[in-house]
Amino acid sequence: MSLITFYSGNICSLLPKPMKIIISNTVTLNGGDAAILLSIIDLFRNAFGDDIDFVIYDSQPEIASRYYPNLVFRELLYFQLGKAPKIKFLEKFFSYVLRLINLPRIYLGAWLIQHNLGLVSKILLSQSELEDINHYKSADIVVSTGGTYLVENYALLPRIFDYKVTLLMQRPLVFYTQSMGPFSRQSNRQILSNIFDKALLVLLRDELSYKYVQDLDFNSSNVQVSSDVVFSLANELDLKQACEQSFPKGSCLKIAISVRYWPHFKNSNTIDGMTKYKQAISAFTTYVVDKYQAEVTYISTCQGIPEYWVDDSKVAEEIFDLLPENIQKYVEVNNNFHTPKILLNFLKSHDLVVATRMHMAILALSAGTPVLPIAYEFKTQELFRRLGLGKWVQDIETTNAESITSLFDSFISALPENRQQLFAKVAQEREQALSSITFVKKAFYEWKIQNN
């Protein structure tokens, strides 16, 4: 009997019913993050059974509940601590001061609850804060959701606060498949080294992230490289059929294009970088309509939710306005909200996707549709390197009309030869994504044995 089979057969006797899983650090209004969240939930239910209570800590829980009403959302702890009066020019300052005051108060309150001094903690914590800390105390596993948020382009303190509370409550902390790093700031290196060292499991989705984590000073025996969890949504039959699919599938070439706003250009300011990017996509759209009589749909994972900070369809509309009138009639801007699984099914009817959003690329590949990617972070380059398609990745910093149209011509010329290998690789990603939960089960089983 294999070790994993042994764990699979015996772990249920160690678990309470229902099991409680916290999934934290989610931004569910982002469709790629929603795909990650739903994939994690599916994997946990398949591994541990349906009798699981999921509590999801999100940046905008009330709005997320409207779009995903079957899930239980609460607000991320850190964002509860800085609710300041909306005073023009001073709100950020008051929020900062409130968090300075409230962070140690929450840590102390959590410590008191962990040491069975809950009555004393009621002096320090509000009723809502008590409920949250008790959710953490009673969780069987705390999962920091997959994605890309532990990079120094973004604020790390909200995540670090969540991890410190989890470890203070002595809960097993799992990082689901992520891209992270590099960590150049010494304060981040010290804090994250300590957190990763105490975590139950750190799952990464690319070798470069593994290198960045290995560069930190801790025993990294709890670190594993797997595949992005969203590949688990792929259907095995769809991938087999994609290996032999004709191109185009129907009477005309159907292309979906995912665009986005990007504020972190390295070689130019945001305005110049976005202007060049939009001009490149406009020229590409004109080119494929003219040369290939293509029908083009602009559609992305982040759209149709007015409460979210960004809507990719707004960028798509700006690009549409750059198109010549005779081209516009062959182009549609789809600006509706789509759940990840609806979007995946939509992409099955297309011949090719040009994707700036990485999870748009993963959903398309999972649907059996080839992808020409545009990378804005290293995660996309790493993904397509794993798939053997690294040479087809365009960098958002350097993409222009000539480069993207030339690459497209080469890509579709090579597609008949590369298609079978591509979707065989996607099938491998699917298998690794599905099996990532076995790392969690093994680590959790061992933790339960040690702590019972």
Domains of the chain plus CATH, in order, are 3-225 (3.40.50.11930), 233-430 (3.40.50.2000)
| Amino acid code (one letter) for 137 | K
Reading the block at residue 105, the tokens are 């108060």
Would you place residue 12 in the very low, low, confident or very high pLDDT band (cuts 50, 70, 90)?
low
3-state secondary structure of 333: strand
The neighbour count for residue 408, using CB atoms within 10 Å, is 21
* CA distance between the termini of the chain: 24
pLDDT exceeds cutoff 60 at 84: no
3-state secondary structure of 22: strand
Look at residue 92 in the predicted model and tell me its pLDDT.
73
* Nearest-5° Cα angle at 244, 243 to 245: 100
Rounded distance between C-alpha atoms, residue 208 and residue 34, angstroms: 24
Rounded distance between C-alpha atoms, residue 106 and residue 20, angstroms: 22
pLDDT exceeds cutoff 80 at 246: yes
pLDDT exceeds cutoff 70 at 245: yes
Look at residue 327 in the predicted model and tell me its pLDDT.
98
The mean predicted confidence, pLDDT, of the chain is 93
pLDDT exceeds cutoff 60 at 449: yes
Which contiguous run of DSSP H or E holds residue 56?
A: strand 52-58
> For residue range 281-323, what is the model confidence (pLDDT) as tens digits?
999 999 999 999 999 999 999 999 999 999 999 999 999 999 9
pLDDT exceeds cutoff 50 at 3: no
Average pLDDT over residues 165-183: 97
> Over pLDDT 70: what percentage of the chain?
94
Look at residue 133 in the predicted model and tell me its pLDDT.
96
* Residue bearing tokens 């023009």: 88
Look at residue 1 in the predicted model and tell me its pLDDT.
36
Look at residue 118 in the predicted model and tell me its pLDDT.
83
Look at residue 94 in the predicted model and tell me its pLDDT.
73
DSSP assignments along 159-223, one per residue: HHHHHHHHHHTT--EEEEEEEE----SHHHHHHHHHHHHHSSEEEESSHHHHHHHHTSSS-GGGE
3-state secondary structure of 156: coil
Look at residue 281 in the predicted model and tell me its pLDDT.
98
Rounded distance between C-alpha atoms, residue 206 and residue 383, angstroms: 7
pLDDT exceeds cutoff 80 at 8: no
Reading the block at residue 343, the tokens are 């979007």
Would you place residue 98 in the very low, low, confident or very high pLDDT band (cuts 50, 70, 90)?
confident
Contact 133, 169 (CB under 8 A): yes
Average pLDDT over residues 206-232: 96
Q: How many whole angstroms from its chain centre is CA 174? A: 15
Look at residue 223 in the predicted model and tell me its pLDDT.
97
Look at residue 144 in the predicted model and tell me its pLDDT.
98
Question: Bridge-partner residues for 203, per DSSP?
Answer: 224
